[in-house]
């Protein structure tokens, strides 16, 4: 696959507010644009100051920067296969004054410096769609963010290898990919927890947050779904988030597994 190598020009970018305006993130007008999913992923990470965090497939850096805005003093790194997006993530980190070292490369072929390091937390928002059963996006940048080329299992294997003892891996993914995630996780990590996210009360979950621990021995936990929106259907305000989700998206609050909204 051929990736865009040149950086985005200013006119190709929009500046979008995240965490209620605490972060100003440049994103391509045409291409992969982060929504709420990486924000929710970052909010679910139980990190502490001084810990080391690696984001696999960091895109423009939204998840890492949201995590860095909530938890000061982290040592954060990201790897991104698309050169233009890797440069954009580094630019966004500088703009927002958050330390993030971004490497351009393939997560299945990490550079020697990354292969020699271990991390307390690894986070990832892998592409959602198996393209053997779906249609590719026209924009290459968007397609790389959404369409799977590296198998989902490979993301999990890499995360498990790079975790320090007792470290945690964190993923956000579509609920239909959960069986695949669990089948790979069970052989490599333990203390697996799944937090489903439902768009509305009474609806089946559409996303899951998954957390697992290296050397973990606790029983598997499937938490009750967190309901993202109030009401049975979209009203005039289509972003009618429940209070817990509103606090995450607007105030940079944490999203505990098992939380209620």
Q: For residue 134, what pLDDT is reported? A: 43
Structure-token pair, residue 85? 């997006």
pLDDT given for residue 187 in this prediction: 93
| Residue position matching structure tokens 């271990």 | 118
SS3 percent helix, strand, coil of the chain, rounded to 5, is 30, 25, 45
pTM comes to: 0.89
What is the torsional sign of CA 251, 50, 89, 94?
positive
Residue 83 has pLDDT above 60, yes or no: yes
Q: Count of CB atoms within 10 A of residue 182's CB?
A: 16
Structure tokens at 210: 């998954």
pLDDT of 131 over the 50 cut: no
For residue 235, what pLDDT is reported?
57
Mean pLDDT of the chain: 90
% the chain with pLDDT above 90: 82
Is residue 144 within a helix (H) or strand (E), and if so which, with residue range? helix 140-146
Q: Is 61 within 8 Å of 247 (Cβ atoms)?
A: no
Q: For the chain, where are the E strands, in sequence order?
A: 13-18, 23-28, 52-56, 75-80, 101-104, 119-124, 163-174, 190-198, 207-213, 221-222, 226-227
């Amino acid at each position: 696959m051929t990736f865009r190598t040149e950086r985005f020009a200013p006119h190709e970018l929009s500046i979008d507010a995240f965490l209620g305006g605490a972060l100003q993130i440049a994103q391509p007008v045409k291409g992969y644009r982060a929504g709420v999913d990486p924000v929710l992923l970052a909010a679910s990470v139980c990190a502490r100051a001084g810990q080391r965090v690696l984001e696999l497939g960091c895109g423009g850096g939204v998840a890492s920067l949201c995590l860095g805005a909530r938890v000061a003093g982290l040592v954060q790194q990201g790897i991104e296969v698309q050169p233009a997006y890797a440069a954009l993530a580094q630019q966004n980190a500088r703009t927002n004054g958050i330390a993030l070292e971004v490497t351009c490369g393939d997560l299945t072929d990490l550079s020697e410096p990354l292969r020699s390091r271990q991390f307390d937390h690894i986070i990832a928002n892998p592409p959602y769609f198996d393209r053997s059963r779906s249609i590719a996006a026209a924009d290459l940048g968007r397609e790389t963010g959404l369409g799977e080329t590296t198998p989902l299992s490979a993301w999990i294997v890499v995360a498990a290898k790079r975790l320090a003892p007792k470290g945690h891996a964190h993923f956000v993914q579509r609920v239909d990919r959960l069986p695949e995630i669990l089948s790979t996780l069970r052989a490599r990590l333990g203390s697996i927890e799944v937090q489903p996210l439902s768009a509305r009360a009474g609806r089946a979950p559409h996303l899951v947050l998954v957390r697992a621990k290296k050397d973990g021995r606790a029983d598997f936990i499937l938490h009750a779904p967190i309901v993202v929106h109030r009401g049975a259907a979209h009203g005039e305000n289509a972003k009618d988030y429940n209070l817990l989700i509103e606090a995450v998206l607007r105030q940079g609050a944490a999203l505990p597994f098992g939380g209620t909204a």
